[in-house]
């Protein structure tokens, strides 16, 4: 790739010296909005680990640094593959240089929209923000309008679904930072015109409607691209330049591994001093590459033969289409309502079972199918009788009335198994067919693959809405809306062990650090609750800047701390519960936690099944204290529980809890990370592409994420001062809570 000749060095405690182009420093970093990131804590873990004083400023530089490495390796590995080079004019070479510049700008600015204390206050900014007329405004809608203005006719903006700080940051960049980015282009224009990154034929260049240039001629599109990278909003459509840009979007804000996640995992580990697993970042980023996929839309297949291929997606959404796949393959098909399915004689499959209470019935022209099956169930009855030679089992016709069923490890011995799928739901899946071997299936109606499908040797016949194959298949034809290449970020096989380490290190941080009871009390309760109260009221002593989008440049952690201290010192909260909360915050003499970790939560409520623990949370959320503070932000809740509940617990403890003054509830969902198997690609030495669910050693990481939404912490304040008395109170309170909810569970949660 190209190099920036004029750079400034930043010494980083994690990555060492970071080289940043002077034009980035002059026009982006040395601005009020970016410099405020020096005073915004990266996480709430500083309350637990005193040395974890790192901020969003250093993290942004770290993401930029990793972005430089990732972009260079992505493009280097990409251009080693000759089969994408079809024909070109030399001016298209600047397309790559320009994308790298825009990507690095996005890396640097990706956290520009963070509110004070990072995530703790971001939802309050969304709620408080006002439009030009002073009325409440929806920042998400404002952002969508800006993107539509920049990208006329773009349909994928409707899929916008981003975190609050990403929405705030992207909107700020589009509405406030365009002049600064123009100046960056002015400084870089001459440089990048002279430094073509590569030579040779490049990517469908005859398809470009405009000659790419490093200038401001297409700044609307460039600004929208920066916003998309921050938002993780991928492009749709067949244009190859947009598909390539999707790879840069994945590198910054992807579903699995991106430079943002990599930096905060490494940085939070290093700066806190905790003993976490080490990540070989150089090995991981050197393995970054681009994986091609070929998408066919609304295509008729006439005995198309595929061998040793991966199907990324196979889907039909037209009830009248008929599609047949026959041969050896591995994968799972989700069958929709009214799908007419014929599994031909001699076919084998691992399982056929209901989804969401779906049923099946024999089709009108069907004959009774006979199975060799390890397990066969119909309407709750296990069919174990066999007949014939070889022995077989069969399903009753049931007068072709829909029935419940389950079939495992089966072979269709005689007659085709011809059935229709039924469900009361108008949407969603109704049946799941899992295959690993020789199978011949014909489907008339709607279906899709559950994840990827591995093709060993098959024939495809019929019509489908979408088929996405791993690999480049369209060769030298110009892409159009019915057949085109998509591109995704992948990793060469040498990164597999590092991928596992990243996931383990991330989960360690989320489970034991971010979900620690003191971090949770500080970041999910004290800070957002007190900040909202203080900054919503003008004290007359301190500048009344609202916590909103319009005042974001002036707001950082220091401002909020000062506002809280001024309000507290002025006596605004004297002799109130708000005063006690301020004392908690300013002295760190927090309430006591009923249990110290989420592991202890599991032990406390081990008598209640996992699928019933949501009932505990649901009940507690109905027990809000009517007059004491309560917080309901970002879908998480926190606040004081009712005095009636506390009195009930005291009654159960026979006077041992008389010193307990109050009880506070705080959500504590542990965000475990599981890879999206269909978004993580591993490339072998011979160029073969595999999805992560095909690698047994990493299968656990692609499983469905464990439900952790039922976790919460309970905190209490006691007037007792004796250490032994406090220990007795803690034990008695745990016992009373356990007994209370076990009784409710055993009674069916009816009372």
Cα 225 versus chain centre, distance: 20
User: Do both 476 and 515 map to the same domain?
Assistant: no
| Residue 500 pLDDT grade (very low, low, confident, very high; cuts 50, 70, 90) | confident
Two structure tokens written together for 540: 């007359």
> Would you state the pLDDT for residue 507?
86
> Would you state the pLDDT for residue 634?
66
Last residue of a domain, one of 452, 475, 496: 496
Q: Is the pLDDT of residue 130 over 90?
A: no
Look at residue 439 and tell me if it is in a domain. yes
Tokens 């974001």 belong to 552
Among 104, 241, 114, smallest CA distance to 181 is for 104
Q: What are phi and psi of 299, to 5 degrees?
A: -120, 145
Q: Quick one: average pLDDT of 29-49?
A: 94
Q: Quick one: average pLDDT of 595-612?
A: 92
Look at residue 222 and tell me if it is in a domain. yes
Look at residue 695 and tell me if it is in a domain. no
Look at residue 574 and tell me if it is in a domain. yes
Two structure tokens written together for 69: 């490495």
Q: Is the pLDDT of residue 702 over 70?
A: no
pLDDT in tens, 608-646: 998 899 999 999 999 999 999 999 876 689 999 999 999
Q: Is the pLDDT of residue 21 over 50?
A: yes
User: Do both 738 and 715 map to the same domain?
Assistant: yes
Q: Quick one: average pLDDT of 113-140?
A: 85
Task: Find the domain containing 422 and state its range.
Answer: 292-496
Count other Cβ atoms within 10 Å, centred on residue 93: 18
User: Do both 441 and 567 map to the same domain?
Assistant: no
pLDDT in tens, 64-100: 999 999 998 888 877 544 434 433 333 455 777 888 8
Instruction: Quote the mean pLDDT of the chain.
Output: 87
User: Do both 272 and 324 map to the same domain?
Assistant: no
Between 574 and 723, the higher pLDDT residue? 723
Q: Quick one: average pLDDT of 261-285?
A: 93
User: Do both 79 and 193 map to the same domain?
Assistant: yes
Look at residue 680 and tell me if it is in a domain. no
User: Do both 406 and 547 map to the same domain?
Assistant: no
Look at residue 158 and tell me if it is in a domain. yes
User: Do both 611 and 657 map to the same domain?
Assistant: yes
Counting the structural domains of the chain, the total is: 3
User: Do both 53 and 136 map to the same domain?
Assistant: yes
Determine contact, residues 384/451, Cβ cutoff 8 Å.
no
Two structure tokens written together for 254: 């992807």
Distance, CA of 196 to CA of 92 (rounded, Å): 9
Distance, CA of 81 to CA of 606 (rounded, Å): 55
| Residue 540 pLDDT grade (very low, low, confident, very high; cuts 50, 70, 90) | low
User: Do both 266 and 315 map to the same domain?
Assistant: no
CA angle 576/581/584 to nearest 5° reads 135
Last residue of a domain, one of 237, 256, 290: 290
Last residue of a domain, one of 290, 315, 342: 290
Two structure tokens written together for 524: 């999910």
Which secondary structure element, helix H or strand E, spans residue 349, and what is its range?
Answer: strand 348-354
Among 368, 380, 360, 371, smallest CA distance to 408 is for 371
> Would you state the pLDDT for residue 300?
93
Count other Cβ atoms within 10 Å, centred on residue 472: 15
Q: Is the pLDDT of residue 368 over 50?
A: yes
> Would you state the pLDDT for residue 154?
80
Determine contact, residues 451/677, Cβ cutoff 8 Å.
yes
pTM summary value: 0.90
> Would you state the pLDDT for residue 671?
67
Looking from the CA of 117 toward its CB, the CA atoms found within 13 Å total 27
Look at residue 700 and tell me if it is in a domain. no
User: Do both 280 and 296 map to the same domain?
Assistant: no
Two structure tokens written together for 391: 């022995």
Q: Is the pLDDT of residue 209 over 70?
A: no
Residue 53 sits in a domain whose CATH number is 1.10.3210
pLDDT in tens, 149-200: 999 878 788 888 898 999 999 999 999 999 999 999 888 876 655 554 444 4
User: Do both 586 and 729 map to the same domain?
Assistant: yes
Look at residue 678 and tell me if it is in a domain. no
Q: How far is CA 407 from CA 381, 397, 404, in A?
A: 12, 15, 11
User: Do both 236 and 384 map to the same domain?
Assistant: no
Among 375, 378, 397, smallest CA distance to 386 is for 375
Q: Quick one: average pLDDT of 220-245?
A: 91
């Amino acid at each position: 790739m190209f190099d920036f000749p004029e750079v400034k060095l930043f010494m980083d405690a994690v990555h060492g010296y970071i080289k940043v182009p002077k034009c980035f420093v002059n026009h982006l970093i040395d601005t009020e909005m970016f410099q405020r990131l020096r005073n915004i804590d990266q996480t709430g873990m500083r309350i637990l680990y005193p040395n974890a004083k790192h901020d969003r400023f250093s993290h942004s530089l770290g993401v930029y640094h990793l972005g430089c490495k990732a972009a260079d390796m992505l493009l280097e590995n990409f251009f080693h593959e000759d089969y994408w080079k079809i024909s070109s004019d030399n001016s298209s070479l600047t397309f790559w240089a320009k994308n790298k510049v825009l990507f690095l700008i996005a890396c640097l600015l990706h956290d520009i929209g963070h509110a004070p204390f990072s995530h703790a206050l971001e939802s309050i900014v969304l709620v408080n923000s006002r439009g030009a007329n002073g009325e409440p405004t929806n920042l998400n809608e404002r952002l969508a309008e800006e993107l539509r203005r920049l990208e006329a006719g773009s349909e994928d903006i409707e899929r916008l679904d981003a975190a609050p700080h990403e929405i705030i940051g992207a909107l700020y960049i589009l509405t406030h930072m365009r002049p600064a980015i123009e100046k960056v282009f002015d400084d870089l224009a001459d440089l990048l015109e002279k430094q073509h990154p590569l030579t040779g034929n490049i990517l469908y260049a005859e398809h470009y409607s405009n000659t790419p240039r490093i200038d401001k001629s297409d700044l609307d599109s460039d600004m929208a691209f920066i916003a998309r990278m921050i938002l993780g909003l991928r492009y749709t459509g067949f244009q190859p330049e947009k598909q390539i840009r999707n790879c840069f979007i994945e590198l910054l804000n992807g579903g699995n591994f991106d430079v943002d996640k990599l930096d905060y995992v490494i940085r939070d580990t290093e700066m806190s001093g905790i003993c976490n697993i080490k990540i070989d970042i150089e090995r991981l980023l050197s393995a970054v590459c681009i994986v091609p996929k070929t998408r066919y839309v609304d295509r008729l297949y006439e005995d198309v033969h595929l061998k040793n291929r991966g199907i990324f997606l196979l889907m039909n959404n037209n009830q009248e289409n008929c599609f047949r796949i026959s041969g050896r393959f591995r994968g799972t098909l989700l069958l929709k309502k009214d799908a007419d399915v014929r599994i031909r004689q001699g076919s084998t499959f691992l399982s056929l079972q209901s989804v969401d209470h779906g049923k099946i019935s024999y089709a009108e022209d069907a004959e009774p199918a006979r199975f060799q099956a390890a397990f066969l169930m119909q309407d709750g009855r296990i069919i174990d009788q066999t007949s014939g030679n070889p022995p077989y089992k069969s399903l009753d016709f049931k007068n072709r009335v829909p029935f419940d069923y389950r079939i495992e490890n089966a072979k269709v011995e005689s007659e085709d198994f011809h059935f229709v799928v039924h469900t009361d739901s108008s949407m969603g899946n109704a049946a799941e067919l899992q295959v690993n071997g020789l199978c011949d299936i014909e489907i008339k109606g709607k279906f899709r693959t559950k994840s990827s499908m591995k093709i060993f040797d098959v024939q495809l016949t019929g019509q489908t809405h979408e088929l996405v194959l791993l690999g480049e298949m369209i060769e030298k034809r110009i892409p159009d809306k019915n057949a085109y290449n998509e591109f995704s970020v992948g990793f060469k096989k040498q990164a597999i062990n590092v991928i596992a380490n990243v996931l383990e290190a991330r989960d360690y941080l989320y489970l034991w650090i971010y979900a620690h009871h003191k971090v949770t009390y500080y970041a999910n309760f004290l800070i957002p609750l007190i900040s909202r109260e203080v900054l919503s009221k003008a004290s007359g002593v301190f500048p009344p800047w609202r916590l909103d989008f319009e005042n974001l440049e002036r707001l950082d952690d220091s401002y909020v701390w000062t506002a809280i201290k001024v309000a507290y010192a002025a006596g605004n909260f004297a002799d109130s519960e708000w005063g006690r909360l301020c004392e908690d915050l300013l002295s760190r003499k927090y309430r006591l936690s009923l249990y110290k970790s989420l592991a202890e939560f599991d032990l406390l409520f081990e008598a209640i099944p996992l699928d019933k623990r949501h009932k505990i949370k649901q009940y507690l959320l109905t027990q809000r204290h009517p007059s004491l503070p309560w917080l309901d932000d970002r879908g998480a809740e926190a606040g004081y529980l009712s005095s009636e509940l506390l009195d009930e617990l005291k009654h159960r403890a026979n006077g041992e809890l008389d010193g307990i003054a109050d009880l506070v509830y705080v959500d504590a969902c542990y965000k475990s990370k599981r890879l999206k198997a269909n978004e993580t690609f591993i490339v072998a030495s011979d160029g073969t592409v595999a999805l992560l669910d095909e690698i047994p050693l990493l299968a656990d990481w692609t499983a469905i994420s464990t439900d952790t939404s039922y976790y919460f912490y309970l905190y209490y304040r006691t007037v007792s001062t004796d250490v032994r008395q406090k220990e007795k109170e803690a034990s008695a309170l745990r016992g009373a809570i356990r007994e209370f909810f076990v009784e409710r569970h055993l009674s069916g949660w009816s009372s």
